[in-house]
């Protein structure tokens, strides 16, 4: 089966499984394909990953006349949003739908720990209409309000790294899911005052993308991984949004909440590996997050260049995955 065949097949699965965990199958397949995995490898990955998934509920018709944003954030609305976006994409092209929908969806870009936005970006790049509809539907039903994205005109700080350091003083959240910890962070006393100091310009998103790669390279933190992949996703989708500064401002707020939620601590730096080795490791792995992380880093390094921050992040991910695999094998080996 080709990537397109597999992506059509993935529409039979629910958007979440095992207590609100996001279904990464379509995103991972698109990432593996771009990394060079062949049809046989993609099919094997899909078969193995889908064992954890649940069948999708039946698609329900969108109520005629209802405003399309009326059920933003309603976790039960995925079946009707799937119908809405499929109809929308049938009558208008992908670019037209994205230009109309993204300015509103991006205001809740932290949805499901950024997975709505990431899924939409991968579906668009794969030119997969049904998967794009499902990704947009997931983003809409998990849309998460983290507060106003518009920053005051008096904001003067251009370096988001300085502000992120100030956020470390905020109290940690005890919530389990990343999205819930992000929500707690955005509501914390002092969060608004720090976030409001950033002056958003054309360089803000590249700075945030590089900062995410740097933080992940030195910590390997699972929450920070989502900042790396979400920065890539927003770069892909940003050309479809007229008010790009507003979109980045909303993303900055969600990103800052993600940093607070991460509580990442510096760790031992990984040995820098070359890209062919990183790509081989990712395409051979059944770890969906590793596939997406290496792919996003590969794309971001090509887009931004300069110091190999994304290569270091990908090297950290591969090294950590190798250690986990080694530990698993050691546990499975019989004691002598």
Q: What is the 3-state secondary structure (H, E, C) of 201-251?
A: CCCHHHHHHHHHHHHHHHHCCHHHHHHHHHHHHHHHHHHHCCCHHHHHHHH
Closest to 57 (Cα-Cα) out of 85, 89, 81 = 81
Helix (H, G, I), strand (E, B) or coil at 198: strand
Token digits of residue 31: 């990432």
Contact 3, 127 (CB under 8 A): no
Q: What angle do CA 81, 119, 258 make, to 5 degrees?
A: 105
Buried b / exposed e along 147-157 (16+ C-beta atoms within 10 A): eebebeeeeee
Token digits of residue 164: 């992120």
Q: How far apart are alpha carbons 41 and 106 in whole angstroms? A: 33
How high is the pLDDT of residue 336?
38
pLDDT in tens, the chain (336 residues): 899 999 999 999 999 999 899 999 999 999 999 999 999 999 999 999 999 999 999 999 999 999 999 999 999 999 999 999 999 999 999 999 999 999 999 999 999 999 999 999 999 999 999 999 999 999 999 999 998 877 777 788 999 999 999 998 898 898 999 999 999 999 999 999 999 999 999 999 999 999 999 999 999 999 999 999 999 999 999 999 999 999 999 999 999 999 999 988 878 778 999 999 999 999 999 999 999 999 999 999 999 999 999 999 999 999 999 888 765 544 444 543
Helix (H, G, I), strand (E, B) or coil at 196: coil
Contact 138, 278 (CB under 8 A): no
Residue given tokens 């990712």 in the structure block: 282
How high is the pLDDT of residue 270?
86
Neighbours of 63 (CB within 10 A): 12
Closest to 293 (Cα-Cα) out of 114, 60, 71 = 114
Q: How far apart are alpha carbons 308 and 331 in whole angstroms? A: 35
Question: Which residues, in sequence order, are CB contacts of 332 under 8 Å at separation 6+?
Answer: none
């Amino acid at each position: 089966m080709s990537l397109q065949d597999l992506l059509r097949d993935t529409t039979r699965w629910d958007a979440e499984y095992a207590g609100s965990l996001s279904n990464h199958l379509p995103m991972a397949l698109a990432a593996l394909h771009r990394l060079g995995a062949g049809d046989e490898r993609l099919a094997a990955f899909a078969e193995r990953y889908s064992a954890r998934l649940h069948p999708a509920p039946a698609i329900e018709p969108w109520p005629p006349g209802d405003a399309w944003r009326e059920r933003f954030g309603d976790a039960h609305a995925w079946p009707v949003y799937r119908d809405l976006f499929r109809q929308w994409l049938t009558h208008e092209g992908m670019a037209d739908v994205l230009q109309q929908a993204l300015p509103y969806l991006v205001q809740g870009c932290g949805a499901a720990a950024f997975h709505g936005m990431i899924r939409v970006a991968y579906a668009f790049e794969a030119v997969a209409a049904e998967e794009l509809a499902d990704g947009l539907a997931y983003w809409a039903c998990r849309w998460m309000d983290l507060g106003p994205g518009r920053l005051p005109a008096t904001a003067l700080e251009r370096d988001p790294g300085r502000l992120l350091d100030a956020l470390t003083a905020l109290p940690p959240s005890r919530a389990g899911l990343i999205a819930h910890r992000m929500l707690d962070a955005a509501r914390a006393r002092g969060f608004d005052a720090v976030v409001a100091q950033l002056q958003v310009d054309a360089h803000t998103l590249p700075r945030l993308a590089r900062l995410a790669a740097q933080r992940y390279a030195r910590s390997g933190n699972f929450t920070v991984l989502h900042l790396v992949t979400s920065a890539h996703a927003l770069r892909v989708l940003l050309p479809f949004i007229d008010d790009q500064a507003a979109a980045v401002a909303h993303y900055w707020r969600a990103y800052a909440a993600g940093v607070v939620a991460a509580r990442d601590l510096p760790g031992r730096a990984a040995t820098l590996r070359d890209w062919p080795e990183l790509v081989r490791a990712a395409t051979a792995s059944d770890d969906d997050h590793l596939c997406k992380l290496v792919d996003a880093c590969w794309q971001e390094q090509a887009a931004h260049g300069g110091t190999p921050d994304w290569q270091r992040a990908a090297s950290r991910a591969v090294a950590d995955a190798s250690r986990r695999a080694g530990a698993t094998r050691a546990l499975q080996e019989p004691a002598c």
